[in-house]
């Protein structure tokens, strides 16, 4: 492997943050792939897919153009229920953040994302949004305040805004406090070399 390539891998791996994006019952694989592109761009390594009501697709194989091949560099886990996904996240110490536009949701502008070392942000179906279970069993529900006539955003735009705001807040507090530890970075570096 060329030295330049190895240096790039080491640089990317050093900026991978402890943040998981969870996609619940996404219908269109191309929407999911656009989310994956933002994940890679902002240092999110893990994406969890829940396929309860929608047909499962493989993010490694579908929509390479939509993700600009970001799908190659991310790690995925798959679940057949939101309950199983939440059980794993909570057992692993993650604070589960549901994204929904409802009266009990806290504004993204007011929530301190940097107070949680391990975050999982859950985004829902393009038409139905998140399931009631996903909202009711999350640790907190957050919304993006919207000031226009339209009260919804595209899935990939919503994901990008959340990922950006979390990353921005973490940078303010010292981004290295939220990145993978050295053992995780070494393991990921070796995995990247093999991809």
Is the domain defined by 19-183 classed in CATH 3.40.1280.10?
Answer: yes
CB 189 within 8 A of CB 11: no
Q: What are phi and psi of 18, to 5 degrees?
A: -80, 75
Predicted local confidence at residue 151, as pLDDT: 80
pTM: 0.94
Does residue 161 contact residue 108 with C-beta atoms inside 8 Å? yes
Given a cut of 70, the residues of the chain with pLDDT beneath it are 63-68
Return the bridge partners of 122, or none: 22, 98
Q: What is the pLDDT of residue 76?
A: 97
């Amino acid at each position: 492997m060329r030295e330049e390539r190895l240096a790039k891998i080491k640089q990317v791996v050093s900026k991978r943050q402890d943040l998981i994006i969870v996609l619940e019952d996404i219908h269109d694989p191309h929407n999911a792939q656009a989310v994956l592109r933002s994940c890679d761009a902002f240092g999110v390594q893990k994406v969890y897919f829940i396929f309860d009501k929608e047909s499962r697709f493989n993010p490694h194989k579908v929509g390479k153009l939509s993700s600009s091949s970001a799908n190659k560099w991310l790690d995925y886990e798959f679940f057949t229920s939101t309950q199983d996904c939440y059980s794993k996240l909570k057992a692993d110490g993650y604070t589960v953040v549901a994204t929904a536009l409802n009266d009990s949701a806290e504004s993204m502008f007011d929530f301190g994302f940097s107070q949680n070392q391990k975050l999982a942000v859950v985004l829902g179906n393009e038409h139905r949004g998140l399931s009631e279970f996903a909202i009711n069993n999350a640790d907190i529900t957050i919304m993006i305040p919207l000031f226009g006539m339209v009260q919804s955003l595209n899935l990939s735009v919503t994901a990008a805004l959340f990922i950006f705001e979390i990353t921005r807040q973490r940078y303010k507090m010292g981004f290295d406090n939220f990145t993978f530890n050295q053992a995780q970075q070494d393991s990921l570096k070796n995995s990247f070399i093999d991809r």
